[in-house]
Structure 1
Amino acid sequence: MTDLTQKILRPANPEATRIFFLARSAPLAPDFAVASYPGDGGYPAYYHRIYNTLRDIGYRVTTSNQCRALYTEAHEIDLVFSLYNRMAIDNPEVFVAATCEFLHLPMIGAKPNIRALAEDKWMTKNFVRSLGLPVSEGAIYSRPEDLLSPPPFAGPYFVKNRFGAASEGVSEDSIQDDWDGAKMAAEKLFARGMAVLVERYARGVDVTLPVIGADEPVILDLVQPRSNRAGEIITEDLKRDDPLGYALYDAGAAYGAFADDAKRLWAAAGPIDYLRLDYRFDEKTGQRVFLEFNICCHIGRSGAICLAAAQKGLSQADLLGHVVEYALRRHWRAVETRKWVR
């Protein structure tokens, strides 16, 4: 507890920090009420709580639900806190990060190239395999005509969106025993304008490993997102509405392997302000299969990272204060490095 407390940064003068909070259904001036955004599940209330917590810490927070506001309204801020992860383009999180880089705006999360790596689940798979992390076999399908050729591995299959956040495109139809079923599931995703990643289905349960950015990353306890769907998978509707929540997960002696994965990923892709490593874990065999890593993951009070942090004595406000201060420190270190190189 003491060691972790020493790693957490505390805002010394939050009133001096101007935050630009960006989200699709962010609370807006003048009343900053919970946004009305049909079809966005629990996200408007979640963004409203994040906004209020940042304000309660003492930060000066302005908000927007428009990415173009980065060009017109964000020039007098100290940090962009963007949770804008869904818009009518591929990889919106990369767009926001790259725009901030172009405008020299400090931003929560990580550099655009690392955001791009995390957003492309196929690139992620190949990247972490090079680090020695266990992944399932996979194949990408960009066009319907590509489905004439089955993947070079046998089923059962798991069909999902190659890009996208919040489990977009994942349903119980994602699990298919044979290629005929997998093709039909892929065609449904193509009809929604999605590129497709087909993987060998990994049996077990979903577990996630939250990590807090620091000079030495803080690796928290495993958490299991609850599911009542086939295969205990996390579907798009569960992620959007989050009716079942999360629970701490005890993997026993296997936890050390998860923590080693996090250290390897951090060494290759860090620094990152906060993230989650998602897995399938077979309790019977002890086999873990890495799925993806999620930068700027859900940081609500009932979410995985806050639940795991609470076991270490940290509140949501503690986490958000640390994340803001660490992001600012990370940015200014990079600025000083560029000055030195010049």
Structure 2
Amino acid sequence: MSARTRVAVIGGGQSCEHDVSLASAASVADALDPAAYEAVRLTIDRDGTWRDHGGRPIGLPGAVHVLTSCDVVFPMVHGPHGEDGTLAALCELAGLPYVGSDLGAGALAMDKWATKLVAHSLGLATAPGHLVTAATLAGERFDHPVVVKPVAAGSSLGVSLVTRAEELAPALEAALAIDTRALVEDVVAGREVDVAVLRRADGSLVVSPALEIVADGLFDHAAKYGGHADFRVPAALTDVERKELEDAAVATYRALGCSGVARVDFFVTDRGPVLGEVNTVPGMTEHSQVPRMFAAAGLPYADLLDELVRGATR
């Protein structure tokens, strides 16, 4: 091992979250402590082409050569072909330590329908919903407001709030343009509150302060990245609400088999927390939700990244 730990930071990817992934990867590489780490940047183009830190196309064999020259991999590819366990599987096959969840946890958490089934087995509430595919699309009818979303996508892409019958078909088409399955869920009346669970380098689990998202309407892609949402951390919660969220987040993290850090999204309702989804490769710029939450607990961004890298190599 070199004097400094070589960390391969991978960004981009083939999903609709390509640009968000680039931002996360660049931020991580820039913020790794240069006294302890040497960041080695790799990018995956939208067409799957791997590029080195100079932007030169190197292909998968070249990428594997670079990866195996590093001590640890930090995958920052959100969405399909990354967050879903794809890059974790590549690292496993190459015998490389990596930051984050393994193939099984990534695939389960990326699938919102599978995550709902896991939540139900834990006794956690989720929004009532059902799956829609191209084969069942013609049978869909509107009878109450719903949220339509792709089953396996992130960054709130393809998510629509449907309040009128004429909005249902376009919403389903938008979701199915991103994924082969769409999820149609009842609208949950509650506050949108996220918590993050981190497995520290010593193996212990720590839950971040909760963050409330206050948005004017649906917290979609435009609201998330357009600078219009109001993130409040720590969220104003009662002790009971805080304990319920922390217990539910840890139970979900463990049941899915997560590692590293995962963001668990909830609705806080009068009847208790309702699980929304789990992100095993959450946004990781300094201003993203997870770094904001841990910063509020006294764990600065660079220290959070250090915990993640050391946790992957322990």
Over 3 Å counting, the alpha-carbon distance change for 1:42 and 1:216 in structure 2 is closer
User: For residues 189 and 283 of structure 2, what CA distance do their matches in structure 1 show?
Assistant: 25
- Residue pair 1:134, 1:290 contacting (<8 A) in 2 also: yes
CA RMSD after TM alignment: 2.6
Amino acid at match of 2:266: Y
Partner of 1:218: 206
**Paired amino acid for 2:181:** A
Q: 2:82 aligns with which of 76, 92, 101?
A: 92
Query: Are 1:150 and 1:179, in contact at CA under 8 Å, matched by a contact in 2?
Result: no
- Give the partner amino acid of 1:190: L
Q: How far did 1:20 drift?
A: 0.5
Q: Which has the higher strand share?
A: 2
- In structure 2, C-alpha distance between the alignment counterparts of 1:179 and 1:234, rounded to whole Å: 21
Q: Structure 2 length normalisation: TM-score?
A: 0.83
Identity of aligned residues (%): 23
Are 1:20 and 2:8 an aligned pair? yes
1:173-192 alignment runs, 5 A limit: 174-177=160-163, 181-192=167-178
* Residues 110, 57 of structure 1: alpha-carbon distance in 2 compared, 3 angstrom cutoff: farther
Map residues 204-283 of structure 1 onto 2, 5 A cutoff: 204-214=190-200, 215-228=203-216, 230=217, 233-244=218-229, 246-248=231-233, 249-252=235-238, 253-282=240-269
The answer to whether the Cα contact below 8 Å between 2:72 and 2:98 also exists between their aligned partners in 1 is: yes
Separation (CA, whole Å) in 2 of partners of 1:57 and 1:200 = 50
- Partner in structure 2 of residue 166 of structure 1: 155
Q: Which one of the candidate residues 293, 300, 304 is aligned to 1:319? A: 304
Cα displacement string for residues 137-161 of structure 1 (whole angstroms, at most 9, x for unaligned residues): 1111121x4123348x963211001
For residue 128 of structure 1, what is the amino acid of its counterpart?
A
Partner of 1:63: 41
CA offsets 1:284-318 (integer angstroms, 9 cap, x no match): x2542111111121232222222222232211011
Whether the aligned pair in 2 keeps the contact of 1:41 and 1:241 (CA below 8 Å) is no
The structure with more helix, counted as a fraction of residues: 1
**Any residues of structure 2 matched to 1:186-201 within 5 Å, and which?**
186-192=172-178, 194-201=180-187
1:300 equivalenced with 2:279 (yes/no): no
Change (3 A) 1:189 1:129: same
Instruction: Give the Cα separation in 2 of the matches to 1:247 and 1:83.
Output: 25
Match of 1:133 in 2: 124
CA distance in 1, matches of 2:313, 2:119: 27
Instruction: Spell out, residue by residue over 1:191-234, the C-alpha distance to the aligned partner (whole angstroms, 9 max, x if none).
Output: 45553111111122321011111333101111023422x2xx32
TM-score (norm 1): 0.77
